[in-house]
Amino acid sequence: MRQLRGTELKRFLRHCRKTHPPEHRIVFVLQSVEYPVNVGSIFRIADGCGVEEVILCGITPTPPNPTIAKVARGKEQRVPWRYIEEATVALAELRDEGFRICALEIADEALPYFAYVPPQQVCLVVGHEDHGITRATLALCDDAVFVPMYGKGRSLNVHVSLAIVAYHIRSWEERNHR
């Protein structure tokens, strides 16, 4: 076994995209995700998962930002994004477009991410690294999921949790529709 590089890697990835195209429409909404490193990481995740759009809200830093650019490795220029000050406005717009809104939050009615059956159009909402999603935003969510913690920590980093759930949706497609 050997690592693929250069042209071989490009061909391999192109083949994967062609034979396993995404079935679900996914949008990310970042409500006041404060740290540019997390925002940059989320752009890389969005690119890797074929996310349709990233919507930045509240105090979330926006491109151009040197830290976002460094961590995102240019994906902030490839993945469509926009800034909407209020997450509630963004969610109302997405709901009108037929998206189901799913919070990544430890909430009383939240399901473990692996029990979540994703709808065809889903908006994944994450919040501030310390405070999470606001009550007003959480009230607009149709669903909530969380990543179970088996150690002493209460949660994972916001971009790590988002990656787990987004890739759960993509792997769910593979397990259930192919």
d(CA 57, CA 42): 14
d(CA 178, CA 175): 7
Residue 74 covered by a domain:
yes
CATH of the domain at 66: 3.40.1280.10
Residue 134 covered by a domain:
yes
Closest CA to 95 of 46, 140, 30: 140
pLDDT in tens, 91-139: 999 999 999 999 999 999 999 999 999 999 999 999 999 999 999 999 9
Residue 3 covered by a domain:
no
Range of the domain at 114: 23-177
The two structure tokens encoding residue 19: 């034979």
d(CA 6, CA 42): 25
What DSSP string runs through 58-121? Answer: TT---SS-HHHHHHHTTHHHHS-EEE-S-HHHHHHHHHHTTPEEEEES--TTPEEGGG----SE
Rounded to two decimals, what is the model's pTM? 0.93
d(CA 36, CA 103): 21
Closest CA to 129 of 147, 155, 149: 155
Residue 58 covered by a domain:
yes
d(CA 78, CA 85): 22
What is the predicted pLDDT for the residue at 106? 93
Residue 12 covered by a domain:
no
Q: Give me the number of domains the chain comprises.
A: 1
Angle, in degrees to the nearest 10, between helices 158-177 and 36-49? 10
In single-letter form, the type of residue at position 87 comes to A
d(CA 170, CA 36): 25
pLDDT in tens, 131-165: 999 999 999 999 999 999 999 999 999 999 999 99
Residue 4 covered by a domain:
no
Residue 147 covered by a domain:
yes
Taking residue 86's Cβ as centre, other Cβ atoms within 10 Å add up to 13
Average of per-residue pLDDT across 36-63: 97
More confident residue, 177 or 41: 41
DSSP 8-class letter at 169: H
The two structure tokens encoding residue 57: 């809200």
